[in-house]
């Protein structure tokens, strides 16, 4: 039997939790490079400076990650960490900023702490960076040897972020439950994958229960119980499931379709990862003929105003227009994890059937 080793991050959630950051950072060293998005750094820089200064930790720099998680930006952050003798990297911001920080830490063998300022993906938790080309389309998956050592989720900061990120995160999180369901179907699962399959229900049912209230609270900049449940499920539950379930069961048609759709300029410019993946979940359910699950999920999508048709994500309903998208989608690594071969015709027909269900 192959050796299996599973590592999870520690995490802290609540209002004003960044004050505890210094106590955690000093366990790993005295010199820290902070990599993040511009807005995220503006929002958190003062609190980070105070807690690190109180613990006599040297801040090398607040380094802008470059605007996209590309190989070039990962290498630039890694080079800076290496040249300045950093002991640890902190990633601050959304998924792309955090993935850049994680990738840089992997390149130079350093631990990484993550501070998500939005709850749009599970990037803050996972041992994986999604790398894009300079043009903004999907490039490759960068598998990391370890996940972040600690995640700090300040619910006050996330409550004050634009609601669209929490909203998109719900779509991405729901995908985990349905994708794990199809990729593990009919398989003899090991202990960790079995745990992931059971835990994956946390990626759907609490969101259906608390999602609409959490979105309303986010609009009103209120840190509530419901909001924190969605934050935890978007960031923690999804990430832990991803790490437990194994690469061969992680991702399926919803993410495969997303990677195909990244070829379209309007997707990359105007729509969020989880928003598009959430649409892909409905396509998956239609293609897989999961009628009961579709009927459970569709009303929630309408309540939460998640996308249910092509026009919701500004995509034309035209086979020729979608041909390159379909080609890339059916050959995406995640699509190949489906329990059956997905052809371009199958995928297009499912998209068409979903269009009809919206009329």
Whether residue 172 is annotated as binding a ligand: the answer is yes
Whole-number pLDDT of residue 1: 57
Residue ranges covered by each domain of the chain = 10-159, 163-357
Question: Cα torsion at 344, 272, 217, 90 (round to 10°)?
Answer: 130
Single out the residue of 165, 159, 129 nearest to residue 146, CA to CA. Answer: 129
Helix or strand or coil: residue 113? Answer: strand
Considering only CA atoms, which of 68, 275, 44 is closest in space to residue 160?
A: 44
User: Annotated binding residue at 98?
Assistant: yes
pTM for this predicted structure: 0.91
Asked whether residue 128 is marked as a ligand-binding residue, the answer is: yes
DSSP symbol at 289: T
CATH topology of domain 10-159: Rossmann fold (3.40.50)
Coil, strand or helix at 309: coil
Per-residue pLDDT of the chain (359 residues; tens, 9 = 90+): 577 778 899 999 999 999 999 999 999 999 999 999 999 999 999 999 999 999 999 999 999 999 999 999 999 999 999 999 999 999 999 999 999 999 999 999 999 999 999 999 999 999 999 999 998 877 888 999 999 999 999 999 999 999 999 999 999 999 999 999 999 999 999 999 999 999 999 999 999 999 999 999 999 999 999 999 999 999 999 999 999 998 899 999 999 999 999 999 889 789 998 999 999 999 999 999 999 999 999 999 999 999 999 999 999 999 999 999 999 999 999 999 999 999 999 999 999 999 999 98
Nearest C-alpha neighbor of 282 from the set 304, 306, 264: 306
Q: What is the residue whose two structure tokens read 């986010």?
A: 218
Domain 163-357 is found in CATH 1.25.40.10 = no
Any binding-site annotation on 20? no
**Would the annotation count 132 as a binding residue?**
yes
Determine if residue 97 is labeled as part of a ligand binding site: yes
- Is residue 43 within 8 A of residue 99, CB to CB? The reply is no
165 is in an annotated binding site: no
For residues 65 and 100, the answer to whether their CB atoms sit within 8 Å is yes
C-alpha 306/C-alpha 85 separation (Å) is: 45
Spatial contact of 275 and 162, defined as CB atoms under 8 Å apart: no
Phi (first) and psi of residue 68, to 5 degrees: -155, 145
Q: Do 94 and 165 meet the contact criterion of CB atoms below 8 Å apart?
A: yes
Which helix H or strand E contains 127, and what residues bound it? none
Place of tokens 């599973």: 6
pLDDT digits (tens, 9 = 90+) for 65-88: 999 999 999 999 999 999 999 999
State the DSSP code for 7: -
Whether residue 248 contacts residue 182, with contact meaning beta carbons closer than 8 Å, is answered with: no
178 is in an annotated binding site: no
pLDDT in tens, 295-348: 999 999 999 999 999 999 999 999 999 999 999 999 999 999 999 999 999 999
Determine if residue 273 is labeled as part of a ligand binding site: yes
């Amino acid at each position: 039997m192959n050796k299996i080793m599973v590592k999870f991050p520690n995490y802290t959630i609540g209002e004003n939790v960044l004050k505890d950051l210094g106590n955690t950072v000093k366990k790993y060293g005295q010199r820290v490079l902070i990599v993040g998005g511009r807005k995220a750094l503006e929002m958190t820089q003062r609190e980070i400076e105070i807690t690190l200064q109180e613990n006599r930790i040297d801040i090398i720099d607040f380094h802008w990650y470059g605007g996209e998680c590309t190989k070039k930006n990962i290498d630039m952050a890694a080079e800076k960490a290496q040249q300045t003798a950093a002991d640890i990297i902190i990633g601050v911001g959304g998924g792309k900023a955090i993935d850049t920080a994680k990738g840089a830490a992997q390149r130079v063998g350093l631990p990484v702490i993550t501070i998500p300022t939005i709850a749009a993906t599970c990037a803050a938790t996972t041992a994986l960076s999604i790398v894009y080309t300079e043009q903004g389309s999907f490039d490759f998956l960068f598998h990391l040897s370890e996940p972040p050592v600690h995640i700090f989720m300040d619910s006050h900061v996330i409550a004050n972020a634009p609601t669209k990120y929490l909203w998109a995160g719900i779509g991405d999180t729901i995908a985990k439950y349905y994708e794990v369901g199809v990729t593990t179907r009919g398989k003899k699962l090991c202990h960790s994958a079995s745990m992931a399959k059971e835990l994956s229900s946390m990626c759907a049912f609490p969101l259906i229960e608390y999602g609409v209230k959490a979105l309303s609270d986010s609009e009103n900049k209120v840190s509530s119980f419901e909001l924190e449940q969605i934050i935890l499920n978007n960031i923690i539950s999804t990430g832990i499931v991803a790490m437990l379930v194994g690469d061969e069961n992680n991702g399926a048609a919803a993410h495969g379709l997303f990677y195909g759709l990244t070829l379209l300029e309007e997707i990359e410019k105007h729509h969020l990862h989880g928003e598009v993946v959430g649409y892909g979940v409905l396509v998956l359910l239609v293609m897989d003929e999961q009628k009961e699950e579709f009927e459970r999920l569709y009303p929630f999508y309408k309540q939460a105003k998640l996308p249910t048709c092509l026009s919701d994500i500004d995509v034309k309903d035209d086979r020729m227009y979608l041909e390159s998208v379909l080609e890339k989608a059916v050959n995406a690594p995640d699509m190949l994890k489906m329990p059956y071969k997905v052809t371009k015709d199958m995928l297009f027909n499912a998209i068409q059937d979903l269009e009809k269900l919206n009329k």
